[in-house]
Structure 1
Amino acid sequence: MSIVEKIKSRPELKKFALKLMIPSNEHRPRLWVRWFVNPFVHKKGKDSIIRNRTRMDVFPYNKFTIGIQSVIEDFATVNNGVGDVIIGNQTIVGIGNVIIGPVRIGNEVMLAQNIVISALNHGYEDVLISPRRQKESCKQVTIEDDVWVGANSVITAGVTLGKHCIIGAGSIVTKDIPPFSVAVGNPARVIKQYNAISGIWERVAPKDN
């Protein structure tokens, strides 16, 4: 068992370790973690760029990797506090994006501006306690290769976006989107799919509720 696994398995050690790494009433690592630990733990591919005004709330006890020739633009926020964040090769994370793990993003993905991708939820069922204090739950978000997500979209916990699917601007994605399809709206619905036999993107008739 590794040191990280030992700490995670013992609540008192975990609480102490988090106190050392995270300032009180904040959700980002202390400077010493960002400067002297993260660069040696997390993997940054050749020619990848993380802009100076990006908020990297990444911690050494979960994974953060970014592949070769990928870019995270200014004013984005990346948080791996509750799960790994993996970004592939030649992928663009646009201005103002928020990514909260566990999230896995493939190769040559385009994320436009002000997109929220969150695998994290809070409980709310106990009405005597604020949702802020209720148990967190996480469901992996997966974005496969060659996906394009339009500006101001939201990708919710547990969703998989299939290879080469397109998400229209302003969409709220609450369910899996199949590969080679176009989805738009709130909640997002598939309106086109690629027909490999005809070689044409074909309209999809809306389903009755």
Structure 2
Amino acid sequence: MSLKTYLDGRPALKQIVHRMLIPKDQARPRLWVSWFVNPFIHKKHRSATIRSNVRMDVLPFNAFVLGAKSTIESFSVVNNGVGDVIIGEHCTVGIGSVVIGPVRIGSDVIIAQHVVMSGLNHVYEDINLPIHRQPVTTRPIVIEEECWIGANAVITAGVTVGKHSVVAGGSVVTRDVPPYSVVGGNPARILKQYDAKTGHWQKPTATPATL
């Protein structure tokens, strides 16, 4: 049984441990967690780089992995509080981007500036409670290998972006993107796809389908 599973079954103990790790009503872990716990639990390759002014809201109960030759650029935020954040090799998380787990990013992925990827959503149905007091739900985001996510794009919870695909800057992606596709817009639509038979990138013959 994992420590997380053990604590999940003991709410009172979990609350005590939670307060030891994070100040009340905050997301950033206490300094002692960042200095003395996370470095021994999480897997950051020795050739990977996290800029000094990145906000790492990273806790020991969920995974954080940063692969070889990958970089998280300045002013970004990484949060694994409700789900794992796994980043492959030779990736770039651009300046000012936000990655909230559960998120899995394959190798050789370019994430440009100010991209938001959040596998978390807030529950809001109970009108007698403020939204911040209601539970959260999670649906994993998956960015497969060799993708390029343009600046200011938003990838919503539960979306998979297929291999070697491009998300145009400023797009809001609410549904899965097929491999070898270029999508753009709000909501994002398929702009063109690679045709293996012809060996060319081709635009859709009909009105582009909303993703």
Q: TM-score, normalised by structure 1?
A: 0.97
- Which residue in the other structure is 1:117 paired with? 117
Identify the residue that residue 93 of structure 2 maps to in structure 1: 93
Instruction: Report deviation, 1:5.
Output: 2.3
Task: Report the more deviating stretch, 125-134 or 107-116.
Answer: 125-134
- Superposed, 1:152-163 pairs within 5 Å as 152-163=152-163
Residue of structure 1 in register with 2:77 after alignment: 77
1:206 and 2:207 correspond: yes
Deviation at 1:113, TM superposition (A): 0.2
Give the match's secondary structure for 2:68.
coil
Matched, 1:168 2:168: yes
- Which residue identity lines up with residue 41 of structure 2 in the other structure? V
**In the TM superposition, what is the alpha-carbon distance from 1:46 to its structure 2 partner?**
3.1
Residues 3-14 of structure 1 aligned to structure 2 (within 5 Å): 3-14=3-14
The CA distance in 2 between the partners of 1:9 and 1:155, in whole Å, is 32
Tell me which stretches of 4 or more aligned residues in structure 1 moved more than 3 Å: none
TM-aligned CA deviation for residue 6 of structure 1: 1.1
Per-residue deviation at 1:25?
2.3
Q: Is the 8 A contact 1:191 1:206 kept in 2?
A: no
Sequence identity percentage: 53
Encode CA deviations 1:58-109: one digit per residue, 9 max, x unaligned: 0001000000000000000000000000000000000000000000000000
**TM-align CA RMSD:** 1.1
CA distance in 2, matches of 1:115, 1:183: 15
Partner SS for 1:192 = strand
Residue 135 of structure 1 corresponds to: 135
Deviation at 1:8, TM superposition (A): 2.2
Structure 2: runs of 5+ lacking an equivalent: none
Partner of 1:104, secondary structure, is strand
Cα offset for 1:207?
Answer: 4.8
User: Are residues 1:177 and 2:162 paired?
Assistant: no
Q: Deviations over 1:11-31 (max 9, x none)?
A: 111111000000122111000
1:62 aligned partner: 62
In structure 2, how many angstroms separate the alpha carbons of the residues matched to 1:32 and 1:154? 33
Distance (Å, rounded) in 1 between the aligned partners of 2:57 and 2:209: 42
Give deviations 1:26-53, integer Å, cap 9, x for gaps: 1110000000000000001131100001
What count of residue pairs does the alignment treat as equivalent?
Answer: 209
Which residue identity lines up with residue 43 of structure 1 in the other structure?
Answer: K
Deviations 1:159-186 (A, max 9, x none): 0000001000000000000000000000
What SS does the aligned partner of 2:125 have? coil
